[in-house]
Amino acid sequence: MNTEFEIHNEDCIEHMATMEPSSVDMSIFSPPFPSVYAYTSSERDIGNSEDFKGDAKLHLSFFFKQLVRIIKPGRVVVVHIQQIPRMKRSGEVGLFDFRGLNIRLAERAGFVFEYDWMVRKNPQALKNGTGVLTPRGYVEIDSLTIGSEVIGSNGKPTTVVGVWPHFEKQMYRVTFNDGSFVECDGDHLWTVNKNAIRYASGRRFTNA
Ligand SMILES: C[S@@+](CC[C@H](N)C(=O)[O-])C[C@H]1O[C@@H](n2cnc3c(N)ncnc32)[C@H](O)[C@@H]1O
């Protein structure tokens, strides 16, 4: 065992309960975001809960109760979190305040909420006027607002949860081997599906 650090690879809910009180100097983590990603197939994974007010809340309340016990008094906990779009597949719309849930559960366990930073999550830019597929056809990207519906990469309608101003940026024309192109900034990441070339209103769009 190293005297400066240890690595524990366990189910945190069970394992934290076995750790010594006041034994952790600092905690930095990102909790699983319920219903957004499938991290693992385990039922212990909070990411697999669709029930924010039930399973997910219960797991997180156990988590914060243990965390407050094992962290040294006066030390810092940094939590990376995102708000959760409610999924239409579970009959819901809008956002779930996952940030607020974590703050309330942490405070209930005994933590003091100090402050937060907003991280612009998606700095990738497309040129104004680029066509975006919505359930009502293509619209220009700069007409989208929070709450607009677009067709997601799974082919199903999804709600826009954030719109970020990009100001002036260096743009590039990315040309695909079928001649279609898109104009985007240099940070834009692309997943390319060669079978997904779409045609609409005489214009060609590449679903990339
Ligand atoms: C938002 S992700 C954070 C990923 C991490 N920051 C990284 O960069 O790899 C949440 C992670 O917590 C894991 N997780 C979910 N339930 C857990 C549990 N009970 N014990 C330990 N890890 C868990 C998920 O599988 C997922 O990998």
- Regarding pTM above 0.75, the answer is no
Considering only CA atoms, which residue is closest to atom 6 of ligand 1? 30
With pLDDT > 70 as the criterion, what percentage of the chain qualifies? 87
pLDDT digits (tens, 9 = 90+) for 54-78: 888 999 999 999 999 999 999 999 9
The residue whose two tokens read 């991280």 is 119
What architecture is domain 12-109? Answer: 3-Layer(aba) Sandwich (3.40)
In this structure, the strands spanning 181-185 and 171-175 are antiparallel
Considering only CA atoms, which residue is closest to atom 9 of ligand 1? 30
If phi > 0 it is left, if psi is from -120 to 50 it is alpha, else beta; for residue 193 that is beta
Report how far residue 52's alpha carbon sits from residue 34's, in angstroms, rounded to the nearest whole number.
7
Q: State both tokens at 99.
A: 């940030």
Centre of ligand 1 to C-alpha 15, Å, is 14
The one-character DSSP state at 77 is: E
Domain ranges of the chain: 12-109, 131-206
